[in-house]
Amino acid sequence: MHHNNSKNIVTLIQSPRFVITILFSSIIISIFQNLSECLINHNTLSLPNIIKLDTLGWTVLSIILMIIILTIPTILSGMIGWRLNISIFLLIFVLNTLLVSIEGYFFLSFKDNLFPSFLIRSFRALIITFVILYSSNKLSFRIDKVINTNTISPYSTTPWSWIWRIVVCLILYMVLFMVSGVIATNIDFVKSFYQNIKQPTPGNVFTFIFIRGLLCILVTLPFIRSINIPLLKKALLFGSVIAILGGVKPLIVPNQMLPPNIRYIHMLEVVISNFLYGIIICFLFGAKIKGKYVNQKI
Which residues, other chains included, contact 128 with Cβ-Cβ below 8 Å and sequence gap of 6+? 25, 29, 63, 66, 67, 70, 92
What is the sign of the dihedral through the CA atoms of 70, 65, 58 and 215? positive
pLDDT of 113-172, one tens digit each? 667 777 777 887 888 788 777 766 654 333 444 444 344 444 455 788 888 999 999 999
Question: pLDDT-based confidence at 291, cuts 50/70/90?
Answer: very low
Average pLDDT over residues 85-94: 89
Domain containing residue 82? 2-297
Residue 285 · residue 217 · CB < 8 Å: yes
Residue 154: its H or E element = none
Which residues, other chains included, contact 104 with Cβ-Cβ below 8 Å and sequence gap of 6+? 111, 114, 117
Q: What is the reported pLDDT for 137?
A: 62
Residue 223 · residue 238 · CB < 8 Å: yes
Residue 213: its H or E element = helix 202-226
Q: How many domains does the chain have?
A: 1
Question: pLDDT-based confidence at 243, cuts 50/70/90?
Answer: very high
Residue 128 · residue 29 · CB < 8 Å: yes
Q: What is the reported pLDDT for 59?
A: 85
Q: What is the reported pLDDT for 114?
A: 66
Average pLDDT over residues 215-222: 94
Residue 33 · residue 120 · CB < 8 Å: yes
Q: What is the reported pLDDT for 275?
A: 96
Of how many residues is the chain composed? 298
Question: pLDDT-based confidence at 27, cuts 50/70/90?
Answer: confident
Count of CB atoms situated within 10 Å of the CB of 197:
9
Q: What percent of the chain has pLDDT over 70?
A: 80
pLDDT of 268-277, one tens digit each? 999 999 999 9
Using CA atoms, how far residue 150 sits from 73, 203, 253, 288, in Å, is 19, 42, 43, 12
